[in-house]
């Protein structure tokens, strides 16, 4: 019989140190001198030199070993803002709202109810109902922001392994239901396009604004795609 010391104090249970089953991660930004910087082209990190070499051949860039303590210590600054990706279905996307204080998760909910800790699970989280107020609270570090995870395979090298995209984009969160609906309409795996979409506009005060947002566009069934000469 296993010990049950965490049933009475679940918050004391250590976080698992085991990695997931992904071979690398896609990023739309990076840290420079401790400051987050958005990128115009995908950055990929991995701990496998063979995967790094394959990524460089497929979508450009040069594998560089960094001093990161992460298992994904090899970095490739690719030459593209778009990749064709295969998603297993709606289950390839998970999302919730989180607020961190350093490495400590202090608020975890779905926007209506708490998801953790176990003692608070299912209780109203107290987040404001309006999107504008949610964003303002998160910007002021008083409320949670999106935590979206997408797992996928590269269409041009399906057997290379599963990759992960982790993003806190509010813009993606706002349309995530549309992406999931499109995936639901596809039977089985879906061919999609993951991109860092360029958004440009001029404010009413005449200020030019330009930024990139992660985007997922569902194209067709993967089964139908591979039946074509070139997807």
Report the number of distinct structural domains present in the chain: 2
List, in sequence order, every residue forming a beta bridge with 192; answer none if it has no partner.
85, 218
Together in a domain, 31 and 50: yes
Confidence of residue 8 (pLDDT cuts 50, 70, 90): low
pLDDT of residue 7: 58
Together in a domain, 73 and 120: no
Q: What is the mean pLDDT of the chain?
A: 90
Q: Is the peptide bond before 117 cis (omega within 30 degrees of 0)?
A: yes
Together in a domain, 76 and 99: no
Q: Please state the rounded mean pLDDT for residues 4-11.
A: 55
Together in a domain, 96 and 118: yes
What digits encode the pLDDT tens for the residues 151-173? 999 999 999 999 999 999 999 99
Q: 121, 147, 173: which is the final residue of a domain?
A: 147
Examine residue 106 and state whether it is found in any structural domain, yes or no.
yes
- For residues 49 and 2, the model is more confident at 49
The pTM score is 0.86
Range of the domain at 30: 22-80
Together in a domain, 75 and 102: no
Q: Please state the rounded mean pLDDT for residues 105-130.
A: 96
Examine residue 136 and state whether it is found in any structural domain, yes or no.
yes
Examine residue 176 and state whether it is found in any structural domain, yes or no.
no
pLDDT of residue 11: 60
- For residues 19 and 70, the model is more confident at 70
- For residues 229 and 228, the model is more confident at 228
Contact, 72 vs 65, CB < 8 A? no
Neighbours of 190 (CB within 10 A): 28
Q: 58, 80, 102: which is the final residue of a domain?
A: 80
Q: Please state the rounded mean pLDDT for residues 110-134.
A: 96
């Amino acid at each position: 019989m296993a010990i049950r010391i965490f049933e009475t104090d679940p918050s004391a249970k250590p976080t698992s140190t085991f990695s997931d089953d992904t071979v690398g991660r896609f990023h739309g930004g990076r840290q420079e001198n401790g400051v987050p910087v958005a990128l115009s082209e995908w950055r990929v990190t991995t701990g496998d030199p063979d995967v790094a070499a394959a990524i460089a051949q497929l979508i450009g860039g040069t594998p560089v070993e960094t001093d990161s303590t992460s298992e994904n210590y090899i970095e490739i600054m690719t030459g593209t803002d778009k990749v064709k990706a295969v998603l297993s279905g709606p289950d390839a996307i998970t999302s919730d709202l989180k607020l961190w204080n350093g490495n400590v998760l202090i608020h975890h909910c779905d926007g209506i109810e708490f998801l953790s800790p176990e003692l608070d699970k299912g209780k109203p989280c107290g987040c404001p109902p309006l999107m504008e107020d949610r964003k303002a609270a998160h910007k002021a570090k008083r409320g949670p922001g999106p935590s979206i995870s997408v797992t996928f395979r590269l269409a041009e090298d399906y057997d290379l392994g599963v990759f992960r995209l982790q993003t806190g984009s509010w813009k993606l969160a706002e349309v995530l239901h549309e992406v999931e609906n499109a995936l639901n309409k596809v039977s089985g795996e879906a061919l999609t396009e993951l991109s860092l979409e360029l958004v440009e506009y001029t404010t009413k005060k005449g200020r030019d604004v330009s930024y990139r947002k992660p985007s997922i566009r569902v194209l067709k069934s993967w089964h139908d795609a591979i039946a074509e000469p070139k997807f």
